[in-house]
Chains A and B, each alone.
Chain A
């Protein structure tokens, strides 16, 4: 994303309720002073009016030149809260009491005095899977008097990928045995079959430590399990029962998560898109993305 800077052109202003109230008070002051021929009263009323006008200049200055260096959001599951992370910093001038918000997000208030970037987190609860568009970022200020509200809409063009909400249910997995059996298949790290003992390396799961050997004084050793690549699970859309597409996706999502957790070698078969069996984090993300962006057949 390119750095976006707020400029005068895309700032709109309108008086707040207090602004209207203030205007009424100043008008009343002018009328009263005229009636009583009180020149000092007029002077005061004009001063207040002039100050309100000058405050508008300050408000414009306060909002222009604000830089949004980056904006991004990690993928989330539907029903969770999307967290948009913005990096903002002051341009050539300090900015005070600025509020940042997306249409559905709560406002964040922030003072930005220096050119040091600040991280802002804007949260939006999401219910629908798919790419979530937060809409334009609304940057707003009522500084200094609270009489005017200045708003700049900045379109950041970012999306938060929302995976389907995982729903557990009977797995409709198609197990296919590729190859001629467990001996000939490719070995993958797994949890099913014990293979050998190996010296412990820092970072390996503690539950794999072979404590009995440790108690015999043979040092820390870990049990290595393997899975035979021959065991491949494929989650297939077509074999799943149930009517609603979204529900199917939710269950597939749950299946993908579980398969990943159990370190299975899994694949996904969706109408129009199939992902070959594999394992690991990128694969998981790939599958979830496919589920998130899946367009059910008409």
Chain B
């Protein structure tokens, strides 16, 4: 069907500029995500589209556009290494959108471009769903919608359309929230989610020298923990992730040998907490030493680590109970692998361990001897240890004597095994930062840590942290404080920056509080929470009751939306022509006292000129009132506010006598 006539065509150029503006706004978040050439490409073609309309440049020939499409698409294909994944599709979408404005002719083209712009806003959520992006998304949707209104009603200015767009958004809000709460969620996926570009951070199945110290600079958040009580002392905050059983002469490996735990264990000093784990694309879930049982879809292994069936590809929230004091019972048969060492290599370390073994009365004394060995021989805690050569344990113990936690843990476990004490290395995190806003713990990648567990007849598996023997500050104050001054982050060493940092820190904490709330309440709203919410209260558990509640909610939301709508109507009535006229007549009567009155056939503009000739001092006020009156009376009109403004102007209009 043919759409309007003249007014639309007149504004066609403006339409395209506005569409381009909406596209640029929608694409800004991509600028850091996509290869730089795509951004440049988009801006170039959008600029061309803008100039074509604004400057009346000749539009490019269709064959030129059609040639650019395969060039752009193959560019995307090669940039992403020819993998058909989310990134590639997003790249292709932007390429298509970069060329689309050049061929906008009809209303149909405009509408479709606007719809694609909505799609562009959505696809960015595959990359980032933070609170900040959500706010930006709302702004972007508001602008795009204003452009959509403009396409359908070119009669008014974009400001009016922005206002209307914002108002419709507010009116839509109750329904949006209710649908969000009630809409059934999916368990699993409709189709496979493939995300090869995802960065794998944190622990791998292998612990090699330098593996953890590479994380020390990484300030990214590993997980947040909300304790359902007091936050335990820092020395208790050992977050267990993975247990390394097998030593191959250089690296420690997760053997996968640990079976699923069947029985419970005796423990006390229970702590309950909720972890919000950031995606790390591995299967480990982190728990405070030692977790009692596993949540759904996760296994608790016999070495007290939690392993999920699937890799953690999205933020995961789980609640656990852990015991700070425990006894793990007798050594199981399969756990004797905690004594295995490669038959060859590291002879000096083995000899040292055997000598201690001869002299010590029992395993506890052995442990003490090893710890004092570390303490008394000038071992250094550093992020940049000298590289290890040959037999790595020997080299570390007798030559370099500098390392990060994994070096100490590795050497300590080796010594224990050489002395026939079962030992294993635990990888995880130590400590965390308390956020004073909200009283939860932020654990970052830089808190990554490795420690040792030895099996002692009296206490079962017992945690020994050789790093803490060398730098006790690591436990109490975190890794940054434990490093030598030269290796600390600059904001801790420079006095000037440290001062700034003191003020910056609370801001950072407050912002993290907002984000964590957003993560938990909005992004982390899952099927389980939905069920809990709808089934709160005992009688509400029945499915029929749930449907009734759902319908009630929904109708309340619709009622709220309609209510918002009518509330909005009251504020913006139309212009009452009579009242505009009345104001103008009052104005004319006022003027008649000082100038020749308006002749009945004289138009307002003509009359204003006459008054300006007679009383030049009044010209300005007369012009303002006449202009507004003409606009309201004969022009496109305005809002009720303009009408009030006219009345106020007339009332305040003074005929000062000339002296």
Q: Do A and B bind each other?
A: yes
A residues within 8 Å of B by Cβ?
A: 18, 21-22, 25, 29-51, 53-55, 57-58, 61, 90, 92-94, 96-97, 99, 107, 109, 111, 113-116, 142-146
By beta carbon, the residue of chain A nearest B557 is A50
**Smallest Cβ distance from B475 to chain A, in angstroms?**
37
The 5 closest A-B pairs by CB, nearest first: A113-B637, A50-B172, A50-B175, A146-B152, A54-B171
Which B residues are in CB contact (< 8 Å) with A29? 119, 122
13 contacts between A and B (CB under 8 A): A21-B112, A40-B125, A40-B134, A43-B134, A44-B121, A48-B141, A50-B561, A90-B574, A93-B569, A93-B574, A96-B156, A97-B152, A113-B636
Give A51's nearest chain B residue, CB to CB: B172
Q: Which residues of A contact B41 (CB under 8 A)?
A: none
Give complex CA distance A25, B111 in Å. 13
Q: How far is B171's CA from A3's CA once the two chains are assembled, in angstroms?
A: 33
Residue among A31, A57, A92, A93 making CB contact with B565, cutoff 8 Å:
A57
Judged by a CB distance under 8 angstroms, whether B324 is at the interface is no
Contact B137 A40 (CB under 8 A): yes
**C-beta contact mask, B564-584 vs A, less than 8 Å → 1, else 0?**
010001000111111010000
A93 vs B570: C-alpha distance when bound (angstroms): 10
Chain A residues with CB under 8 Å of B153's CB are: 96-97, 111, 143-144
What separation, in Å, do the CA atoms of A209 and B562 have in the docked complex? Answer: 74
Chain B residues with Cβ under 8 A from A51's Cβ?
A: 145, 168-169, 172
Give the residue of B149, B562, B569 whose beta carbon is less than 8 angstroms from that of A145.
B149
Chain A CB within 8 A of B186 CB: yes
| Bound: A25/B120 CA distance, A | 12
**Contact in complex: B148, A46 (CB < 8 Å):** no
Query: Which residues of B are interface residues toward A (Cβ below 8 A)?
Result: 2, 4-5, 7, 111-112, 115, 118-119, 121-122, 125-126, 129, 133-134, 137, 141, 145, 148-149, 151-153, 155-156, 164, 168-169, 171-173, 175-176, 179-180, 183, 185-186, 189-191, 193, 314, 522-526, 561-562, 565, 569, 573-578, 580, 632-633, 636-638
- A43/B111 contact (C-beta < 8 A), A54-B171, A114-B574, A144-B149 known: no
Residues of A within 8 A of B122 (CB): 29, 32-33, 41, 44-45
Q: Which residue of A lies closest to B154 (CB)?
A: A97
Complex interface: chain A residues within 8 A of B152 (CB): 97, 142-146
Question: Min CB distance, B167 to chain A, in Å?
Answer: 9
Given known A-B contacts A21-B115, A51-B172, A93-B574, A39 and B129 have beta carbons under 8 A apart? yes
Please judge, given known A-B contacts A34-B190, A35-B190, whether A47 and B636 are in contact too, CB under 8 Å: no
Smallest beta-carbon distance B15→chain A, Å: 13
Q: Which of A25, A50, A92, A113 has the most CB of B within 10 A?
A: A50
Bound together, the chains give a CA A40 to CA B138 distance in angstroms of 11
Minimum CB–CB distance from A40 to chain B (whole Å) comes to: 4
Contact A115 B575 (CB under 8 A): yes
C-alpha spacing A35/B186, complex, angstroms: 7
- Asked whether, in the complex, the Cβ of B193 is within 8 Å of the Cβ of A39, the reply is no
Residue from B172, B314, B569, B632 in contact with A54 in the complex, judged by beta carbons closer than 8 Å: B172
Q: Which residue of B lies closest to A28 (CB)?
A: B119
* Distance in Å: Cβ of B608 to nearest Cβ of chain A: 20
A92 in complex: contacting residue of B125, B176, B189, B574, CB < 8 Å:
B574
A139 to B149, CA, bound (A): 19
Nearest Cβ distance between residue B533 and chain A, in whole angstroms?
A: 14
Closest-CB distance, A275 to chain B (whole angstroms) = 44
In the assembled complex, how far is the CB of residue A148 from the closest CB belonging to chain B, in whole angstroms? Answer: 11
Judging by beta carbons under 8 Å apart, are B523 and A40 in contact? yes
Report yes or no: A96 in contact with B183, Cβ–Cβ below 8 A. no
Q: Are A55 and B168 in contact (CB under 8 A)?
A: yes
Question: From A113, which residue of chain B is reached at the shortest CB distance?
Answer: B637
Establish whether residues B176 and A46, one from each chain, have CB atoms under 8 Å apart when the complex forms: yes
Find chain B residues with CB under 8 A from A55 CB: 168
Task: Let me know if B522 and A39 touch, CB within 8 A.
Answer: yes
Assembly CA distance A45 to B119 (angstroms): 10
Contact status B111-A18, CB under 8 Å: yes
Q: Does the CB pair A111–B155 fall under 8 Å? A: yes
In the bound assembly, the distance between CA atoms of A45 and B118 in angstroms comes to 10
Asked if A144 and B574 sit within 8 Å, CB to CB, the answer is no
**What is the CA–CA distance of A104 and B145 in the complex, to the nearest angstrom?**
33
Contact between A58 and B633, CB atoms less than 8 A apart: no
Q: How far apart are the CA atoms of A142 and B2 in the complex, in Å?
A: 13
B92 to chain A, nearest CB (A): 16
A259 CA to B538 CA in the complex, in Å? 96
In the complex, the chain B residue whose C-beta lies closest to that of A145 is B148
Contact status A25-B118, CB under 8 Å: yes
Q: In the docked arrangement, what's the CA distance between A99 and B155, Å?
A: 13
Which residues of chain B are within 8 angstroms of A49 by Cβ–Cβ distance? 172, 175-176, 179
Are A114 and B637 within 8 A (Cβ)?
yes
Contact B119 A25 (CB under 8 A): yes
Distance from A118 Cβ to chain B, minimum over Cβ atoms (Å) = 11
Residues A42 and B569 in contact, CB atoms below 8 Å apart: no
Taking a contact as CB atoms under 8 Å apart, the answer to whether A47 and B119 are in contact is no
* A104 CA to B129 CA, complexed, in Å: 52
Chain A: which residue is nearest B527 at the CB level? A37
Interface residue from A25, A30, A58, A113 paired with B575 (Cβ < 8 Å): A113
Contact B633 A116 (CB under 8 A): yes
Q: Which residues of B contact A45 (CB under 8 A)?
A: 122
Q: A43-B180, A53-B172 are known; give 12 further A-B pairs, CB within 8 A.
A: A21-B111, A32-B122, A36-B193, A37-B189, A46-B179, A49-B179, A50-B171, A93-B573, A96-B156, A97-B4, A97-B155, A114-B575
Q: Return chain B residues, CB-CB under 8 Å to A48.
A: 118, 141
Provide the residues of chain B in CB contact with A37, threshold 8 Å. Answer: 185-186, 189, 314, 526
B119 and A144 contact, CB distance less than 8 A: no
Chain A: minimal CB distance from B133 (Å)? 8
B contact residues around A90 at 8 Å (CB): 574
User: Judging by beta carbons under 8 Å apart, are B126 and A36 in contact?
Assistant: yes
Pick from B5, B151, B176, B573: contact of A43, CB under 8 Å: B176
Is there contact, CB below 8 Å, between A50 and B156? no
Q: How far is the CA of A40 from the CA of B525 in the complex (A)?
A: 10
Task: Flag if A43 contacts B522 (CB, 8 Å).
Answer: yes
B417 to chain A, nearest CB (A): 43
Say yes or no: A46-B574 contact (C-beta < 8 A), given A40-B125, A57-B171, A146-B151: no
Which of A33, A54, A146 has the most chain B CB atoms closer than 10 A to its own CB?
A54
Pick the contact of A115: B129, B179, B569, B576 (CB < 8 A): B576
Give the interface centre of B4, B172, B193 by most chain A CB atoms within 10 Å: B172
The chain A residue sitting closest to B578, CB to CB, is: A115
CA distance A146 to B150 in the complex (A): 10
- CA of A47 to CA of B526, assembled, Å: 19
Residues of A near B115 (CB, < 8 A) are: 18, 21-22, 25
> Assuming A41-B125, A50-B176, A51-B172, is B186 touching A34 (CB within 8 A)?
yes
A50 touches B577 (CB 8 A): no
Inter-chain contact A58/B168, CB cutoff 8 Å? yes
Say yes or no: A35 contacts B148, CB within 8 Å: no
A229 → B minimal CB distance (Å)? 45
Query: Which of B5, B153, B155 has most chain A Cβ within 10 Å?
Result: B153
Which of B5, B183, B191 makes the CB contact (< 8 A) with A42? B183
In the complex, A47 Cα to B557 Cα: how many Å?
13
**Distance of A143 Cα from B176 Cα, bound (Å):** 22
- The reply to whether A115 and B574 form a contact with Cβ atoms under 8 Å apart is yes
**Cβ–Cβ contact A47 & B574, under 8 A:** no
- Inside 8 A of B4's CB, which chain A residues have their CB? 97, 99, 107, 109
The CA-CA distance from A54 to B563 in the complex, in Å, is 11
Neighbouring B residues of A18 by C-beta, 8 Å: 111, 115
Q: When chains A and B are docked, how far (Å) is the Cα of A49 from the Cα of B554?
A: 14
Contact partner, A44, options B5, B125, B525, Cβ 8 Å:
B125
Q: A47, B126: Cβ atoms under 8 Å?
A: no
A129 to chain B, nearest CB (A): 30
Are the CB atoms of A109 and B7 closer together than 8 Å?
Answer: yes
Q: How far is the CA of A116 from the CA of B151 in the complex (A)?
A: 26
Q: Which residue, B5, B176, B190, has most C-beta atoms of chain A within 10 A?
A: B176
- The complex places the Cα of A43 from the Cα of B137 at a distance, in Å, of 11
User: Interface centre among B111, B185, B561, by most A CB within 10 Å?
Assistant: B111
Which of A21, A39, A107, A111 is the most central at the interface, judged by chain B CB atoms within 10 Å of its CB? A39
